[in-house]
Structure 1
Amino acid sequence: MDISGPCNTEFFELMAEKLAKLIPQLNMNNYTGLVILRDEALATPEAMAYFTNYLKTVQVRAVAINLQHSLTPSTTHDICKKAYTEAGVEHRFFYDNHSANAWLRSCMATPR
């Protein structure tokens, strides 16, 4: 998922709708996600609360977050870490897609 900010609640609602359409294509027992954040991919506290609650409903195995193109990587890292940690989603931060994808593949290969 390639995201440019800012991210408001409506953005996350639309994202949830789009992802719901992908469910038939996913192995719900073992899927991961790569999130590429661009520009100022920041969100309001209300939007992050919505996103955190959404994360609690998905069964994603792991999420790699690429901050390479973020204009505010430190702040974005802190905001995302809080949401993913609170939701109990395994996640890591990267600055390139190659490393992120390698980590995601290793997550998928490791039995639960």
Structure 2
Amino acid sequence: AATAEALLSHAAAIQTEAFSLSQFDADLTDTGFINVTLMKSNKTVAIPKGQSILSSLEQQGIKPNHGCRMGICNKCACNKAQGATRNLLNGAANQEPTQLLKICVNSAQSDLVIDL
């Protein structure tokens, strides 16, 4: 941004924007278990924190739809009704309700309710 501003210093007006990745919360740890409620089956399971939701559900004998396991194909994506997650690829935290959730590349950070 500083280089662009220097190059355009002669311009009458300039508008810039800067973005950065979400920083990990110091209180977030990857130990312990999280309760995940599956809305379609009305089942609640405890999964380990810090591990992909897909892998954790598979360890419980639950077989959600999936494909690439890299967050590309969207076959594992489901709606998150509530709860906090963290993207395992880039560390981005998501605490917003009613979000599309790729369970192959996200871990649970709080109790979750998902549309599976």
* TM-score (structure 2 length as normaliser): 0.23
Larger radius of gyration: 2
Higher strand share: 2
